[in-house]
Structures are given as C-alpha cells and as structure tokens.
Amino acid sequence: MKDTLVFDVKALLHEDFKVYEVLVPCENLKLVFDEARFIRPLACTISLLRQDADNFYVTADITSVISVQCGRCLNSFEVDVATEIGVLFCPGEAPKEALSDERYYDGDTLDLSEDVRQALVLEVPSWPLCAEDCQGLCSQCGAELNEGACDCEIIEEPSVPAARNPFAVLAQMLPGTDAASNKD
C-alpha cells in the first residue's frame, strides 16, 4: 500500500487504467488547523485513467476522521470527513487560462497532494455541533446545559431606547414611516 499521493507516470506506460489504495499520514499534506485535528491517516482510493498518450484523468475518494470542538458546549468530538476529486493531468506547464479541473505535470510524476489538501480543507466544518440539540453553556455561570439546568435566573436584556440606538436614524429614511412622511 502506498503512503504518498505522488504517482510515477512511467509505471503507467503499459496500462490504461490503474487503481491504488493509499494511506497517507496527515502530516504529509500539512493538514494542521486550529479548529480541527486529523486523528486518522487519509484513506484514499485513487483511479488513474490514461486518456491518450500523455493525459491522465485522476479520481480520488478520500476519507478520514477529525476531532473538532463543539461551537456551543466546547466539548471535543469526532467527525468523519469524506470528499472526492476529479482532475485531468496534462504534460507541460499551465497556461494562463487553465481550466479549474485541469492540472499540469512535469512528464514524470502526478502529484495529487495539493488537490486533496484543498478538498479536505473544504470539509472541515466551520461551526461544528456535537448534536443538533446541543444546549451549550450558560451565558452567566458557564455550566454545561446538556448535563442539566443551572440555577441562574434568565435576565432579559432591556431594549435599547431609540434615542440611544445609533441606527434609529435609518428608520426615518424608510418610506411609509411617520418620520419619513413628516420630512416631505
């Protein structure tokens, strides 16, 4: 089993299609985030299809597991991540107007590392929740409300009087309001 996302084109000289099972350590792709930590290597199924003498269409199914912190209760939990990519590799250097799903290679190796890294970055949740009904933390005492209610009194914040509200002037600009009618 391979442990890299770099493939030797010479190994594909006599084959039109090849499938690789790859297990890549996350450190190899610099998958380090403040909000998420990859806790399992990337399990990848890579398919390379020769389209003509030098072009290769590559697909990849990638899975892993990350540890994230809940946005409400701040507890860590694990999330399965999965993504797939499809990229056409052509020999040579990239022209100025290359297609978004088209990459270029040096003639010897195909490197999927950056494509896989970018696809996985998009899979990291921006506001992870351990459960849809997570109650979070009490805003007053910090107690975890998933474990039970706290003894804090719920204090409703008073509304800001219009005179102190810096946006109150915007209401005067709306058509149909009393303040806007008095201006005319």
**Residue-by-residue pLDDT tens, the chain, 184 positions:** 788 899 988 877 778 899 999 999 988 888 877 788 999 999 999 999 988 878 899 999 999 999 999 999 999 999 999 999 999 988 887 666 655 667 888 878 889 999 999 999 899 998 999 999 999 999 888 899 999 988 887 766 555 555 567 777 777 777 776 654 555 4
Structure tokens belonging to residue 36: 């998420």
Which candidate, 88, 85, 106, 90, places its Cα nearest to that of 29?
85
